[in-house]
Amino acid sequence: MSVVDLTKPIQYNPDDPSFMKVKVKHKPHRIGRWLVRVLGLPFNLMPKDFEGWADDTITKMGVHSTTHIDAPWHYGETSGGAPAQTIEQIPLDECIGPGLVLDMTHKEDGDPITAADMEEALAKSGGEISTGTIVLIRTGRDKFLGTKEYWKRGTGMSAEATDWLLDKGVTVTGIDQWGWDVPFHYQIARSKAEGRRDIFWEGHRVGQKRPYWHMEQLTNLSALPSHGFKVCVFPLKIVGASAAPTRVVALLED
């Protein structure tokens, strides 16, 4: 079995905008020796090979700053007429399932993905979608990871494309760009140009009507076949949160 990591590294990047910045403080081994000394063990009684322990503290990281999965609570206070679920309420049996990649790398920046695009990509993939399938949208924008352009580049899921997935029984899905929708500046420009109030965050807002969970900032989808693999999604169990950093892997049979 081969394991493909679909998760971006958690590390400081000076080119990230402030709302995405991650800061980790790495503490050296010698601090552990001093902590043991404070607890009462003299240095001369410490094991000769005891260097102390390394430790690390995440001093800054939003739950949406890295590869993560959004809970219905992120989209609004209610979902489908009931209180929206927070991230620790995600059903874990829905976090492991057959995977399918739909190729949207041909879509231009700012051009939303439609239901017709989804139908065409599914036909080309040769795969099938059924209840429990974890559908991954490949845009190719993970190539901008680590650059100042990352959060500004991408296509994005329209409301109708999102509904199309949910109609087929999908509850967990994901995309390899900064966000599920087209980047903010495209949404805002189109809303103004067309004088419409229904465009902004349209893919996310589907979750106010019907609960679903989507991953953002995936990477390495190009290493996967279109289907015939399993996806495993492991979000941190953060009580009451709108999302959680998530380790996402694909399992391929050799």
Map the chain to HEC letters.
Answer: CEEEECECCCCCCCCCCHHHCCEEEEECHHHHHHHHHHHCCCHHHCCCCCCCCCEEEEEECCCCCCCEEECHHHHCCEECCEECCCHHHCCHHHCEEEEEEEECCCCCCCCCECHHHHHHHHHHHCCCCCCCCEEEEECCHHHHCCCCCHHHCCCCECHHHHHHHHHCCCCEEEECCCCCCCCHHHHHHHHHHHCCCCCCCHHHHHHHHCCCEEEECECCHHHCCCEEEEEEEEECCCCCCCEEEEEEEEEECC
In total, how many domains does the chain have? 2
Q: What CATH number is given to the structural domain containing 75?
A: 3.50.30.50
Among residues 84, 250, 76, the alpha carbon closest in space to that of 174 is found at: 250
- Report pLDDT digits (tens) over 157-195: 999 999 999 999 999 999 999 999 999 999 999 999 999
C-alpha–C-alpha distance, residues 110 and 98, integer Å: 29
Q: How many CB atoms lie within 10 A of CB 161?
A: 23
C-alpha–C-alpha distance, residues 178 and 154, integer Å: 8
Residue 27 domain flag: yes
Residue 208 domain flag: yes
**Do both 157 and 215 map to the same domain?**
yes
**Do both 223 and 150 map to the same domain?**
yes
C-alpha–C-alpha distance, residues 110 and 190, integer Å: 9
**Do both 27 and 115 map to the same domain?**
no
Q: Which segments in the chain show pLDDT lower than 70?
A: none
C-alpha–C-alpha distance, residues 213 and 232, integer Å: 14
Kindly give, in sequence order, each residue whose CB lies less than 8 Å from that of residue 238, ignoring residues fewer than 6 positions away. 63, 87, 88, 244
Of 60, 86, 106, the residue that ends a domain is 60
C-alpha–C-alpha distance, residues 211 and 201, integer Å: 15
pLDDT in the model for residue 254: 84
Residue 14 domain flag: no
**Do both 54 and 73 map to the same domain?**
no
C-alpha–C-alpha distance, residues 63 and 69, integer Å: 9
Provide the token pair at 243: 């999302």
Residue 13 domain flag: no
pLDDT in the model for residue 187: 98
38: containing domain: 23-60
**Do both 36 and 129 map to the same domain?**
no
Residue 8 domain flag: no
pTM above 0.85, yes or no: yes
pLDDT in the model for residue 87: 98
Residue position matching structure tokens 């950093």: 245
**Do both 51 and 154 map to the same domain?**
no
CB burial string 18-39: b at 16+ within 10 A, e below: eebebeeeeeeeeebbeebeee
Residue 16 domain flag: no
